[in-house]
Amino acid sequence: MTKVLTKESIPLNKENKNFLIFNELSNKEHEQVVICSDPETELRAIIAIHNTTLGPALGGTRMWNYESEDAAMRDVLRLSRGMTYKSAISGLNLGGGKAVIIGDPHTEKTEALFRSFGRFVDGLGGRYITAEDVGMTEKEMEWIYSETKYVTGIPKALGGSGNPSPVTAYGVYMGVKACAKKAYGSDSLEGKKIALQGAGNVASYFARHASKEGAKLYICDIYEDKAKELAEEVGGELVDPDSIYGLDVDIFTPCALGGVINDDTMDQFKCDIIAGGANNVLDEEDKHGQMLLDKGIIYAPDYVINAGGIINIASELEGYNEERALQNAGNIYNTITDILDYSEEHGMPAHKASNALAEKRIETIGNIKNKYSSKANVSGRLGEVYKRFID
Ligand code: NAD
């Protein structure tokens, strides 16, 4: 049956203190939460499946030293919901899920713990497909993979897609171009001044695309050497991390941390566009999203413009092909254009426009699934399970 993401359709029972977990789940409209406990390996993990209308729930596993199980639960519910929206707006046939492992990623990693976790993932039969997230490395993902095939974003040597950063950066580049088209009537970055925060993986690949097209880059990183090296490579200028927000530039491209659009930085921005790869850049989504709209700054919602990463690992489910992944990430140009048009038409901040379009897709595609079909046309490593879920 089709699920529709509206709070009205879900009976809330906030007052009933005996049903705290179910109330919390129905509040954020989750389907399933799995608590994984294995005292032998000291595994304490939570897997949250938010919505599988479009397909199996895909989302990374995060290992973090949460101070309470409440904090871990809140994080996994929030992050899994975000994945539903990210996949939906990106045109993927995937739902939203996420997992958290409670523990110190520097001191509490063991092979047995991750293999135990892998078995819990396997037990879900493909309803949840995991990937690498904060606090995890290739090594742990390989341990998980030795217990379950429901893993994506695995190393190239194991037949996977490898490092997603080049595809993420290409998506960011195309998203920036879509914003330029909206702001200036042309999507060319030639002569555009871009303040680039961060000189890491995504930022470096992005800088190469933008400089090739003739953009002038102003680059910072808390590791000055890194920023200097990148600036030299792309003919950019090294700038101080504290001055990046107030530069007199056309475009600000955050590719480092979250929360950088906040009460302190808001008044410093002189740019026309904010579009970059970093996650959760709006410190307070509704407040700062609205402030950007009021200031007339075009904003590319972070979870849309940086979706190249998930687009890359999603390609793995159908049999990885880098060219196809890049092509799909290039479509972020059209997605951002649609969002900016919708935002303008409805006078709403871009992140809200994006959420509305994602919900619309879930609803309409959910509806067509009411009709019988003999197949979904997919093959590849996880083709069978993928097909089962998207049918
Ligand atoms: P990275 O670690 O390679 O690069 C981040 C860089 O930011 C580092 O060089 C770091 O020193 C720098 N940095 C940290 N704080 C800074 C500050 N205050 N000022 C300036 N520089 C600072 O990470 P990445 O893989 O390039 O990811 C960058 C961002 O994009 C992150 O927010 C990540 O969550 C997001 N993202 C990445 C991908 C991907 O495929 N790698 C996908 C989606 C989203």
List pLDDT tens digits, range 47-99: 999 999 999 999 999 999 999 998 999 899 999 999 999 999 999 999 999 99
CA of 3 to the centre of ligand 1 (A): 35
Q: Is residue 287 annotated as part of the catalytic site, yes or no?
A: no
Tell me which of 152, 306, 311 to substitute to probe ligand 1's pocket, judged by most ligand atoms within 8 Å of the beta carbon. Answer: 306
What are the residues whose beta carbons fall under 8 Å from the beta carbon of 45, sequence distance 6 or more? 35, 36, 61, 99, 100, 101, 102, 117, 120
Which residues have C-beta within 8 Å of that of residue 319, sequence separation ≥ 6?
A: 379, 380, 381, 383
* 200-211 pLDDT tens trace: 999 999 999 999
Question: Whose CA is closest to 220, among 171, 276, 147?
Answer: 276
**Could you identify the residue written with the tokens 């008044």?**
267
| Confidence check: pLDDT of 359 > 80 | yes
Backbone angles phi, psi at 15, to 5 degrees: -75, -25
pLDDT range class, residue 28, cuts 50, 70, 90: low
CA of 151 to the centre of ligand 1 (A): 23
With a Cβ cut-off of 6 Å, ligand 1 is lined by 164-165, 168, 197-203, 220-223, 226, 241, 255-257, 277-279, 306, 309
Q: What's the rounded Cα separation, in Å, for the pair 162 and 192?
A: 32
C-beta separation of 202 from 168 below 8 A: yes
Best-predicted range by mean pLDDT (138-142, 230-234, 322-326): 230-234
Of 7, 28, 98, 192, which residue is the catalytic one? 98
Which ligand 1 atom sits closest to the C-alpha of 168? 40
Q: How far is the CA of 70 from the centre of ligand 1 (A)?
A: 27
Alpha-carbon distance of 66 to 44, in angstroms, equals 11
How far is 30 from 80, CA to CA, in rounded Å?
A: 9
Q: Please tell me the residue having the least CA distance from ligand 1 atom 42.
A: 309
Nearest alpha carbon, ligand 1 atom 32 = 278
Question: Cβ(375)–Cβ(387) under 8 Å?
Answer: yes
Identify any residues that bridge with 253 across adjacent strands, giving them in sequence order: 196
Q: How far is the CA of 199 from the centre of ligand 1 (A)?
A: 8
Nearest CA to ligand 1 atom 17: 222
Cross-sheet strand order for the sheet of 251-254 = 237-238, 216-220, 193-197, 251-254, 273-274, 298-299
What whole-number distance in Å separates Cα of residue 28 and Cα of residue 74?
10
d(CA 388, ligand 1 centre) in Å = 35
The closest residue, in CA terms, to atom 9 on ligand 1 is 200
Q: Which tokens belong to 334?
A: 């059209």
The pTM (predicted TM-score) of the whole model is 0.89
Q: Which atom of ligand 1 is found nearest the CA of 164?
A: 40
User: Closest residue (by CA) to atom 25 of ligand 1?
Assistant: 201
Summarize the confidence of residues 13-40 as an average pLDDT: 77
Pocket perturbation via mutation, ligand 1, pick of 58, 205, 220, 221 by most ligand atoms within 8 A of CB: 221
**CA–centroid distance, residue 197 to ligand 1 (Å):** 9
pLDDT of 128 > 80? The answer is: yes
CA distances from residue 46 to 21, 33, 73, 97, 115 in whole angstroms, order as listed:
13, 7, 7, 11, 15
Which two three-digit tokens encode residue 190?
């030639």
Residues in the chain: 391
For the chain, the farthest-separated pair of C-alpha atoms sits apart, in whole angstroms, at 62
Question: Residue 387: its pLDDT value, please?
Answer: 72
What's the chain's average pLDDT? 92
Please state, in angstroms and rounded to a whole number, the distance separating the CA atoms of residues 269 and 183: 16
Q: Kindly provide the b/e burial profile for residues 17-55, where b requires at least 16 CB atoms within 10 angstroms of the residue's own CB.
A: eeeeeebbbbebbbbbbbebebeeeebbbbbbbbbbbbb
Q: Domains in the chain, ordered, with CATH?
A: 2-86+94-155 (3.40.50.10860), 165-361 (3.40.50.720)
Decide: 57 and 96 in contact? Cβ < 8 Å.
yes
Atom number in ligand 1 closest to CA 276: 30
Nearest atom of ligand 1 to the alpha carbon of 199: 9
